Structure 1
Amino acid sequence: MNIVFVSLDTLRASRLGCYGYGKPTSPYMDRIASGGVLFERAYAADIPTEAAHTGIFTGKLGIHTGIVSHGSPLTHLPKGEPWLPALLRSEGVATAAVDNLYQLKEWFARGFRYYINSVGNERHIDGRTVNELAFPWIREHKRERFFLFLHYWDAHTPYLPPKEYVAPFYEEGRDPFDPSNRSMEEAYNHAAYPFFKHHHYDRLGEVTDTAYIDALYDAEVRYLDDRLRELDELLIAEGLYENTLLVLFGDHGESMTEHGIYWDHCGLYETTVRVPVMMRWPGVIPAGRRVTGLVQQVDLMPTVLEAAGLRPPPSIDGKSLWPIIRGEREGTQDRIYLSECAWQASRGLVTADHKFIRTYDAGPYVRAPRELYDLRADPEETVNLAENLPELSARMEQELEQWVERELGGRPDPMAVQLKAGLPFRNRIDHILRQCGLSWEEWIRNPRRHLFDEALAKTRSVGGDRQ
């Protein structure tokens, strides 16, 4: 058998038809889900990308690997850690990746006999490029037992879909640059503006309508859906469809404006930590199965190993999903512990009914130190019940603290170590602000767009004079 393991970077579960979305973003992914199993409550325990993918390939939570952040110079994964591609390769499986995470950290290339780096001259990686690199490899190795990791970035900012994909998601005749529409003002005047201007807004022009950027995201998802259709068509054409385990997963989701987060993936809210996970293996996985219990990304590693006939390492946190797929259980966990440490530092606890979030450093955001949400009554997490339900809030906070202490076992807390050095994404903004003669402290007090634009223009003018 073969395994095609697909990361759908920044894909928000609630923007797919199979997860209840009403717009036509995912007709082919919906078809894949209906042909196999879909996990309705799958969580990214560690976000964002670096921490999530490390957990996926090690089967371990960040509190155990030490990888709780993203893009930090402090992080290192010891070579003794179990690593999914390496375990498969040691058993004679041909391992390959079309991916660019190696640009971030070296360990993402470990265990791959063939590592095809998808990075290009532009920051945005097109799914068509991923397919163009992957398809020849599939044809060449179709007679071998293989594990192929594909990493699609289309749903990640900057949202730059082909124009023809936008029309179904944005009202015809509506002007995204209409100066009378002021819905983008809060985004443009957010404390994270310097980072997003540099990486995203400058690529879109002076958009005034938040609905337009939402539509671009949906268009990117629809574009990605077509690339996955092409992948499936190749598997069918090469005679691989029936004997291939296809695993689709999101590394994290995306907030579109919720909780003051504009087209980014921070915050331990459902928009970001609830991710799509679906698996298809014709004749092995029953079609149309929907799992409602709690599972997490680290469960994918032992699940893949079991499918390949291998025993998972005893030291991992993940639990195989096969008993759930067979209907013997409804989830691998009764509670999931969450963590982030990039834009902001916080930990959380999810149960069947509630979520508790403890924020230690809000970074450029405004956050209550404690948040409690009733996920059944308030799935969009709009009402913080921490003060209204103090006993439940205190109980969940105590459980979270005890879990952290127990799991660390006396080792240094990697989140505390990172906070001492500064949040990586705050450090990025700090660097940009310093170049413009602004300090983080004054910017946080008054994050007005015009201040940064004026300072940036002056900086560029001085740079031009020097040249």
Structure 2
Amino acid sequence: MNIVFLALDTLRADHLGCYGYHKNTTPHIDQLAKRGVLFRSMIAENNVTQSSFVTMLTGRNPVAHGVVNMKPQKISPKLTTMSQILKRNGYRTAAVDNNHRCTGTVNNWFKRGYDDYLDPGEKRKIHFLATAEDVNRLAFQWLKQHRQEKFFLFLHYWDPHFPYIPPQPWNRRYTHNIKAQVSGRDLKTVMREPLYSWFQKWSKGVNNPEYVRGLYDGEISYLDYHIGQLLEQLKELNLLDNTLIVLVGDHGESLGEHHIYFDHHGLYDATVHVPFIMVAPGVLPENKRVDGLCQHADILPTVLHVAGIQYAPPRQLDGKSLVPLIRGKLAHIRPFVTSCEANWQLKRSIRTPKWKLIKSLEQDVYGNPKFELYHLERDADEQHNVAAKRQQVVSRLNRLLEQSVKQLRSKYKAVDPLSKGQKTKLHPLTVAEEEKVKKRLSDLGY
């Protein structure tokens, strides 16, 4: 069985048709989901690219590998990756990817285990400007050369990542009746530095959030088209029926929810609930939906299980095979999942099927309290913090969260990676508030 791994950057689950989105953004991915297994509750352990990829490729929690933000850092060579395991088991391994420079500093850890590592953004000014067309061009060439071998092909698509600049006709598909600029609207009143300057650099005066959301959907639609092209290429090469396809998002994107605009910080579902689909004709059931909670660390043991590869004892991985969920032998493989962040904010969260608790480890710049508790069954959009009313639930979940971190630290004899603080602090005031302060000081002669 061949393996094609589709890693879709910055793709939140609720903007795909197969996850209930009301817009027809993803017809090809939706059809793919009908051919296999869709996991409804894949929750990322972290909300930035570097951390998420280390977790999904090693089956280890961020406490184990220590990567929790986008700081350039050395990643332990003792961590064994999916590509290394598959190569040892007779696979020809290749990646069309540029994670090795996702922090701005080259880190060849991400190249380990690949016979061929192809950078789709090599000719682009910034790595994440590589397009799905760039990825597919290299992927198609490689597939034609190695179609007769048993292979593992890892493809990293960046398109939904900011800046949202889909080409024609996708740039107008969801914005054609929306104005890019509207009077009386200024994103300075809701955005903070340094994110606001980054947004302005690419957005050329756009100030209507609804227009920007339309561009995000356009990027998803553009990506979906090229996923369709990839599937068609696999079919033409007679590879589709003998290939395990894995499709997953590394993290989502906030589009204004909870006052977070066009970035992936915060541990709300917009940022940590991601799509996860597996298709293996004749091996996995078709049109199957799995409700049980799962995380990125579960992907490695699940892929190995489906491929029939024996690996390490469970203690060497934090993830668990999801095959028992797929087969209906279990309804859940764990009672809760946890997430963390340390890029722009310092937070942890714990989620059960019913509740989510978000715990801020320092003062929240958006004015949120230390604890946020959401009743997910009644409040799926996480709009009503009931922490003050349900203090017993807060105490119980906080205790479970602390115990989970303590157990992982003990297992790996590790320092809590969040104890090192976050990569960059957001300004406590919005841009508009800062301008008012500066004007007031200027008027006073400062």
Deviation at 1:61, TM superposition (A): 0.4
Residue number in structure 2 paired with 1:102: 100
Residue number in structure 1 paired with 2:29: 29
Match of residue 155, structure 1, among 134, 156, 160: 160
Residue number in structure 2 paired with 1:175: 179
Residue number in structure 2 paired with 1:79: 77
User: Per-residue CA shift, 1:287-309, capped at 9, x if unaligned?
Assistant: 11001111111111011112332
Which amino acid in the other structure matches residue 53 of structure 2?
A: H
Residue number in structure 1 paired with 2:239: 240
**Does the 8 Å CA contact 2:47/2:251 hold for their aligned counterparts?**
yes
Pairing 1:280-319 to 2, within 5 Å after superposition = 280-314=279-313, 315-319=316-320
Which amino acid in the other structure matches residue 432 of structure 2?
A: R
Which amino acid in the other structure matches residue 85 of structure 1?
A: S
CA distance in 2 between partners of 1:363 and 1:391 (Å): 23
**Does the 8 Å CA contact 1:184/1:207 hold for their aligned counterparts?**
no
CA distance in 2 between partners of 1:415 and 1:142 (Å): 44
* 3-state DSSP of counterpart to 1:163: coil
Deviation at 1:207, TM superposition (A): 1.0
**Does the 8 Å CA contact 1:42/1:275 hold for their aligned counterparts?**
yes
CA distance in 2 between partners of 1:335 and 1:201 (Å): 39
User: Per-residue CA shift, 1:413-466, capped at 9, x if unaligned?
Assistant: 1110x21xxx2133xx7xxxxxxxxxxxxx5356338849x99xxxxxxxxxxx
Which amino acid in the other structure matches residue 176 of structure 1?
A: A
CA distance in 2 between partners of 1:31 and 1:343 (Å): 36
* 3-state DSSP of counterpart to 1:166: helix
Aligned length: 427
* 3-state DSSP of counterpart to 1:134: helix
* 3-state DSSP of counterpart to 1:349: strand
Match of residue 415, structure 1, among 418, 428, 431: 418
CA distance in 1 between partners of 2:250 and 2:394 (Å): 28
Deviation at 1:364, TM superposition (A): 4.7
Which amino acid in the other structure matches residue 388 of structure 1?
A: K
CA distance in 2 between partners of 1:102 and 1:34 (Å): 33
Residue number in structure 1 paired with 2:120: 118
CA distance in 2 between partners of 1:402 and 1:329 (Å): 24
CA distance in 2 between partners of 1:390 and 1:289 (Å): 37
CA distance in 1 between partners of 2:174 and 2:430 (Å): 35
In the alignment, structure 1 residue 54 sits paired with structure 2 residue 59: no
Residue number in structure 2 paired with 1:349: 350
Residue number in structure 1 paired with 2:221: 222
CA distance in 1 between partners of 2:184 and 2:27 (Å): 32
CA distance in 1 between partners of 2:363 and 2:30 (Å): 36
Deviation at 1:171, TM superposition (A): 4.9
User: Per-residue CA shift, 1:252-279, capped at 9, x if unaligned?
Assistant: 1111100111011111111111110001
**Does the 8 Å CA contact 2:170/2:219 hold for their aligned counterparts?**
yes
Deviation at 1:21, TM superposition (A): 0.4
Compare 352-361 and 158-167 and name the one that shifted more.
Answer: 158-167
Deviation at 1:162, TM superposition (A): 1.4
Which amino acid in the other structure matches residue 150 of structure 1?
A: L
Residue number in structure 2 paired with 1:191: 192
Which amino acid in the other structure matches residue 324 of structure 2?
A: P
CA distance in 1 between partners of 2:26 and 2:360 (Å): 34
**Does the 8 Å CA contact 1:177/1:206 hold for their aligned counterparts?**
yes
CA distance in 1 between partners of 2:119 and 2:396 (Å): 46
Residue number in structure 2 paired with 1:434: none
Deviation at 1:107, TM superposition (A): 1.3
- TM-score normalized by structure 1? 0.87
- TM-score normalized by structure 2? 0.91
CA distance in 2 between partners of 1:103 and 1:167 (Å): 31
CA distance in 2 between partners of 1:446 and 1:50 (Å): 27
Pairing 1:325-364 to 2, within 5 Å after superposition = 325-361=326-362, 364=365
Pairing 1:452-467 to 2, within 5 Å after superposition = none
Match of residue 132, structure 1, among 129, 133, 137: 137
* 3-state DSSP of counterpart to 2:162: coil
CA distance in 2 between partners of 1:45 and 1:364 (Å): 22
Deviation at 1:33, TM superposition (A): 0.4
Deviation at 1:328, TM superposition (A): 1.6
Residue number in structure 2 paired with 1:38: 38
Residue number in structure 2 paired with 1:321: 322
* 3-state DSSP of counterpart to 2:55: helix
**Does the 8 Å CA contact 2:373/2:386 hold for their aligned counterparts?**
yes
CA distance in 2 between partners of 1:354 and 1:203 (Å): 37
CA distance in 2 between partners of 1:308 and 1:411 (Å): 32
User: Per-residue CA shift, 1:66-94, capped at 9, x if unaligned?
Assistant: 12222x24x33221112110111112210
**Does the 8 Å CA contact 1:191/1:365 hold for their aligned counterparts?**
no
User: Per-residue CA shift, 1:22-70, capped at 9, x if unaligned?
Assistant: 1010011000001111000111012211111000001010011112222
User: Per-residue CA shift, 1:206-226, capped at 9, x if unaligned?
Assistant: 112110000000000000000
Deviation at 1:2, TM superposition (A): 0.4
CA distance in 2 between partners of 1:181 and 1:88 (Å): 56
Which amino acid in the other structure matches residue 168 of structure 2?
A: K
Deviation at 1:345, TM superposition (A): 0.9
Deviation at 1:382, TM superposition (A): 0.5
* 3-state DSSP of counterpart to 2:291: strand
Relative to structure 1, is the Cα distance of residues 335 and 171 closer, same or farther in structure 2, using a 3 angstrom cutoff? same
Which amino acid in the other structure matches residue 321 of structure 2?
A: S
* 3-state DSSP of counterpart to 2:24: coil
**Does the 8 Å CA contact 1:336/1:350 hold for their aligned counterparts?**
yes
Q: CA RMSD in A?
A: 1.9
CA distance in 2 between partners of 1:446 and 1:16 (Å): 31
**Does the 8 Å CA contact 2:59/2:297 hold for their aligned counterparts?**
yes
Residue number in structure 1 paired with 2:444: none
Compare 278-287 and 347-356 and name the one that shifted more.
Answer: 278-287
Q: Which structure 2 segments of 5+ residues have no match?
A: 440-446
